[in-house]
Amino acid sequence: MYTKQKKYLFFIILILSSLYGCTQKFKDVSDTVNATIESHKDVNLQANELEAIKYDSIYVRVNDGKRVLMILLHIGFNIENQTQQLKWLSGDKVLIVTENGRIVKTLAFENNNLAGISTNRDNISPSVKLNNWEATYDWLPGYRYQFTAKMKKIQIGQEKLSLSKWSLDTKHIIESIEFIELDTKINNHYWFNTD
């Protein structure tokens, strides 16, 4: 009788452990599916959630991708053009480097990381005054260098940006960038403080 109970106990433990394994695997699959679904949604924090963040942060949307929240990781200085550089990090460890609001370098994107921008201007800052100019873009991987870009400024108009504790009058400008060799156009949006 004792051996029979041992066998039943063994089978019960075996069945329960296999069910637990299935449950855990199903939970992992379910979490992965939910994360994938969530990863295609824009990040939208409430005002109190944004205020609770202890670090400087920005919302960023690259191309037609989702809007993500990035945290300021490092403030540096570009010796070549005497410009302050800000390095922003996302939750999935993508890094964006900006100079005066313009993205000048990216790291850890799946493809098409921006290696650099160069121009004959003193700096590459977005400008309210300058209507047309040219720059050269470089991308990695693939060592794709020296793609000429023609920039054209389009003024959209005045816009008020606001959060719970502040508001700011801005001038919304779209910078249309055309890459002749690639037969591609992109748009950058900038909001300039009108004060």
Q: How many domains does the chain have?
A: 2
The tokens describing 25, both together, are 């695997």
Do 85 and 10 reside in the same domain of the chain? no
Q: What is the pLDDT along the chain (195 residues), one digit of tens a residue?
A: 555 555 555 555 545 555 455 444 444 434 433 443 355 688 888 878 888 888 888 888 887 788 888 899 999 998 887 888 999 999 889 999 988 888 889 898 887 888 887 776 665 666 666 788 888 888 887 778 889 999 898 889 999 988 767 788 999 989 899 998 889 998 988 888 877
Do 18 and 72 reside in the same domain of the chain? no
- Residue 33: the pLDDT is 36
- Residue 127: the pLDDT is 63
Question: Where in the sequence is the domain holding 25, given as residue range(s)?
Answer: 1-40
Q: Which residues contact 90 (CB under 8 A, 6 or more apart)?
A: 60, 68, 69, 70, 71, 96
Do 89 and 144 reside in the same domain of the chain? yes
Do 32 and 56 reside in the same domain of the chain? no
Rounded distance between C-alpha atoms, residue 93 and residue 107, angstroms: 9
The tokens describing 183, both together, are 């037969």
